[in-house]
Amino acid sequence: GKYRVISTKSMPGTRWINLLIQNDCRLEICTEKKTILSVEDIIALIGDKCDGVIGQLTEDWGEELFSALSRAGGKAFSNMAVGYNNVNVDAANKYGVAVGNTPGVLTETTAELAASLSLAAARRIVEADEFMRAGLYDGWLPHLFVGNLLKGQTVGVIGAGRIGSAYARMMVEGFKMNLIYFDLYQSTRLEKFVTGMFLPTYGAFLKANGETPVTWKRASSMDEVLQEADIISLHPVLDKTTYHLVNKERLAKMKKEAILINCSRGPVIDEAALVEHLKENPLFRVGLDVFEDEPYMKPGLAELKNAIVVPHIASASKWTREGMATLAALNVLGKIKGYPVWFDPNRVEPFLNENAQPPA
Selected catalytic residue, list 124, 169, 218, 312: 312
Tell me whether residue 148 or residue 262 sits nearer to ligand GLV (CB atom): 262
Tell me whether residue 7 or residue 107 sits nearer to ligand GLV (CB atom): 107
Catalytic residue check, 64: no
CA gap 355, 184 in Å, rounded:
9
Tell me whether residue 191 or residue 276 sits nearer to ligand GLV (CB atom): 191
Tell me whether residue 169 or residue 235 sits nearer to ligand GLV (CB atom): 235
Residue 192 CB neighbour total at 10 angstroms: 12
In whole angstroms, how close is the CB of 208 to ligand GLV at the nearest point?
A: 34
The footprint of ligand GLV (CB under 6 A) covers 57, 81-83, 103, 106-107, 161-164, 235, 315, 346
Catalytic residue check, 294: yes
Tell me whether residue 22 or residue 186 sits nearer to ligand GLV (CB atom): 186
Q: Give, rounded to a whole angstrom, the gap between the first and last alpha carbons of the chain.
A: 39
In whole angstroms, how close is the CB of 265 to ligand GLV at the nearest point?
A: 7
CA 266 from chain centre, in angstroms, equals 9
In whole angstroms, how close is the CB of 33 to ligand GLV at the nearest point?
A: 22
Catalytic residue check, 123: no
Cβ pair 74, 97 in contact under 8 A:
yes
Whether cis (ω within 30° of 0) applies to the bond prior to 295 is yes
CA gap 165, 356 in Å, rounded:
21
Hey, what amino acid is at 248? K
In whole angstroms, how close is the CB of 108 to ligand GLV at the nearest point?
A: 10
Provide φ and ψ at 68, rounded to 5°.
Answer: -65, -45
Selected catalytic residue, list 265, 277, 321, 347: 265
In whole angstroms, how close is the CB of 324 to ligand GLV at the nearest point?
A: 7
Q: What are the distances in angstroms from CA 221 to CA 156, 218, 248, 309?
A: 12, 9, 17, 28
CA gap 341, 333 in Å, rounded:
8
Q: Which residues are designated catalytic?
A: 265, 294, 312
